[in-house]
Amino acid sequence: MTDQMIYAGFYRLDITPKHGGIPLEGLGASLKRRASVIRDRLYANIVALGNGPEPEAVLMTFDWINVKNGHRDLFRQVISEKTGIPEGKLLMGGTHTHSGPDIYSDCPEIETYETYLCTILPDGVKRAVADMLPATLSYGHMPAGHEGAWLNFCKHYKMAPIEKKGCWTEADLVDVGDNYGSKYSSDEEHWFYARHEEEADHELQVMKLSREDADDILLVNFQAHATIMSHGRNELGMFRTEMSSDFPGVTCRMVEELLPNTHCVYYQGAAGNLNPSTRIFEEGIYGLTYANRYPEAYSFVLSSYVKKICMSKLVPSESNEVRLLKHIKIADADHSMDYRLPEAKEVWELFQEKGGQTPEVKELLKKYEFNSPYQCEAIISKAKKPATLEVEMNALRIGDVGFVTAPCELFNTTQLFVKAHSPFPMTFVKAYSCGSNSYMPSSNTCKDSYERNCARTKIGTAEEMADKYVEMLQELKGIKGIAAPLSLECWDNEWPFTYTDHERSIARAIVTDGKGNFYFAHAERDDSFGRSTLIETSGGGVEQGETPEDAVIREVREELGIEAELIGKIGLVRDYYNLIHRRNLNHYFLCRVKSFGEKHLTEEEVNDYHLSTLKLTYEEAVNEYEKCADSRLGRLIRNRELPVLMQAKRMLDGEE
């Protein structure tokens, strides 16, 4: 712990529109709905951070869908003029509520609202800065939910046939369909399963800034579209028209009730393709049976996980540095669909003329092979964009926590990549911040999806941004010389693929003693995978309620008898065991030996796997992986783990 101190200040500014009937965002915008009533007050939560009374960064989070480029520039200019804080230090974003004001509308009510905000925002920032006091930082995280009852899910998937009929019942597939995408064919001879393009990031993160003479400040990061209100219906079956902060705002309120003397701020993660799993409440999985989709049910459970982290999962930060880096990326715009502009205009004009998807509109959509009129609208909109777009990227160090902002709807894969390769123990990814460049889908996203059709930048930009974020975080951490971070997908070419019916999250460790030696598990097995002698990293399944970090320390202790400490995360490797129809999500960590003790092996590990410990130099370990690749399972393990070992070596060389 250094002598440097973190200073933190907070102010909550009410930004609820003063006039009624204002247009609603999200689904409200497409249906041209206006707010009938204000259900929840809307706020701008302002957090000022620095290493003294002068802020290094001011984080402003609005109960809006996002903060568009025009508002970002306007608000920065006004606030900077009134406070003297440089514009670049003002980071503002939205919680992504789809029941807030339609900030993209050019109606008089929105213009009046903008003028009103320009008069109150500078005072809100001044109050947050004036509130800055010395603070102690701690942080923690855990999964939100559990298998079968996660609080979010990935809405994108691909379908593939299941050859083994009957592995699920028809009822199972129908029930799962709404939340997890599994479907079945009406043809009883062809069953299908959902092979997700991206796994969902279920991690809930918390940063706590404890202040002796003032309320604590709690920063919460989770990722799920705030659409519980906008996609819900009232007692008459009509889409709701209430203005609401949705579950982000309600969660803050509930956390503050659970943890008195605390200010809670919700930061929306990369939720571009992640939705809230509201159906779990309809089934009563958590003991809640809300007939209508109101955010209180969802927030009740989410806030209970926040409290659990605060009560038992927080660890103190060893660093108190607060530092901000900014990068403006010039990205190529997506003009790949401009050739379809005449057809898109014809469909969109007819849709506008008819006021909906009439039979004539549907016939024209079918003729030109468009998914919906809104795909046509997106093509028209993108054709008007310049050849390049500016994408503002920010990376902030808050002690031992990394924090990045993105002016777009990032997808889950980008967030997982950044978090997996960040040099910080925990990293917040804050999307919908400092501008709006629409969706930023990953390259593997289906080309016909709504999000990819709406993307303003060319495919591949998300991956370029992910690499840049990691580079910026490494600079903030003071790490140099580390090669490109590790993210792999390894296919099983040893056994034929039929179907995948389950997924396993695994934590694994490259363990070093700091003297040039590495420690591995050595196994001799004879089972359905065949007879084999293997070298493998120590590791195992992440148990319910565990984080991968918790799991890897436990597994190393049990299998190797080593008490270890984490150096950092090496990366994420996805691989497949086709023989048992399983997909593995392998979280790899670099660990250092603290002490040696007793192993705690299971009966299976002793009698069936004959597990023992190998102590090898780097060169010896590489040779051992090659030697054990004489079996089918050995080749799968080698292909997965040799790149990890090489990356660990690069990390250790970078430390030196």
pLDDT in the model for residue 199: 66
pLDDT in the model for residue 439: 83
Q: Could you give phi then psi for residue 513, rounded to 5 degrees?
A: -100, 5
pLDDT at 63 over 50: yes
- N- to C-terminal Cα distance for the chain? 21
pLDDT at 46 over 80: yes
pLDDT in the model for residue 160: 40
DSSP string, 370-382: -S-HHHHHHHHHH
Q: Tens digits of per-residue pLDDT, 156-206?
A: 654 343 333 333 333 333 223 333 333 333 333 333 333 444 568 889 999
Q: Tens digits of per-residue pLDDT, 64-109?
A: 999 999 999 999 999 999 999 999 999 999 999 998 999 888 888 8
Q: Which residue has the tokens 């500014």?
A: 13
Q: Tens digits of per-residue pLDDT, 197-231?
A: 456 888 999 999 999 989 999 999 999 999 888 76
**Residue 30, CA distances (Å) to 105, 355, 459 in order:** 11, 11, 26
pLDDT in the model for residue 179: 33
DSSP string, 486-516: EEEEE---SS------EEEEEEEEEEE-SSS
Strands 133-143 and 90-94: unpaired
pLDDT at 457 over 60: yes
The H-or-E segment that residue 568 falls in is strand 562-577
The answer to whether the Cα torsion of 72, 106, 345, 375 is positive or negative is: positive
pLDDT band at 309 (very low <50, low <70, confident <90, very high): very high
d(CA 144, CA 207): 16
Contact criterion met (CB below 8 Å) for 69 and 75: no
Helix or strand or coil: residue 256? helix
Tokens of 555: 């597994």
pLDDT in the model for residue 30: 56
378 or 125, which is more confident: 125
Tokens of 20: 């009624």
pLDDT in the model for residue 485: 59
pLDDT band at 235 (very low <50, low <70, confident <90, very high): low
| Exposure string over 196-229, b if 16+ CB within 10 A, otherwise e | bbbbbbbbbbbbbbbbeebbbbbbbbbbbbbbbb
Strands 203-210 and 216-222: antiparallel
pLDDT in the model for residue 285: 63
d(CA 106, CA 361): 27
Q: Could you give phi then psi for residue 439, rounded to 5 degrees?
A: -75, 145
Closest CA to 448 of 333, 337, 358: 337
Q: Could you give phi then psi for residue 387, rounded to 5 degrees?
A: -70, -30
- Rounded average pLDDT over 585-611: 92
Tokens of 303: 């806030």
Q: Could you give phi then psi for residue 253, rounded to 5 degrees?
A: -65, -45
d(CA 136, CA 316): 8
d(CA 481, CA 654): 5
537 or 438, which is more confident: 537
Burial of 38 from C-beta contacts in 10 A (0-12 / 13-18 / 19+): middle
CA-CA-CA-CA dihedral for 611, 616, 620, 626, to nearest 10 = 20
- Interior CA angle at 408 toward 402 and 410, to 5°? 65
d(CA 180, CA 161): 16
d(CA 210, CA 400): 15
Q: Which residue has the tokens 């123990």?
A: 425
**Residue 79, CA distances (Å) to 43, 87, 324, 360 in order:** 17, 8, 19, 50
The H-or-E segment that residue 415 falls in is helix 412-421
Contact criterion met (CB below 8 Å) for 134 and 184: no
Provide the 8-state DSSP code for 7: E
pLDDT in the model for residue 198: 54
Closest CA to 549 of 583, 508, 597: 508
pLDDT at 449 over 70: no
Hey, which residues does 502 pair with through a beta bridge? 582
The answer to whether the Cα torsion of 405, 407, 408, 409 is positive or negative is: positive
Q: Tens digits of per-residue pLDDT, 478-517?
A: 876 555 457 777 878 788 877 777 889 999 999 999 899 9
In 3-state terms the chain splits into helix, strand, coil percentages (rounded to 5) of: 35, 30, 35
Strands 612-617 and 517-527: antiparallel
Q: Which amino acid is at 636?
A: L
Q: Could you write out the three-class secondary structure of 172-221?
A: HHHHHHHHHCCCCCCCCCCEEEEEECCCCCCEEEEEEEECCCCCEEEEEE
d(CA 465, CA 446): 20
Contact criterion met (CB below 8 Å) for 602 and 540: no
What ranges make up the beta strands (E) of 444-485? none
The H-or-E segment that residue 30 falls in is helix 27-30
pLDDT in the model for residue 173: 31
Q: Could you write out the three-class secondary structure of 44-89?
A: EEEEEEECCCCCCEEEEEECCCCCCHHHHHHHHHHHHHHHCCCHHH
Tokens of 113: 């609202």
Contact criterion met (CB below 8 Å) for 245 and 42: yes
Q: Which amino acid is at 479?
A: I
Of all residues in the chain, what percent carry a pLDDT higher than 90?
49
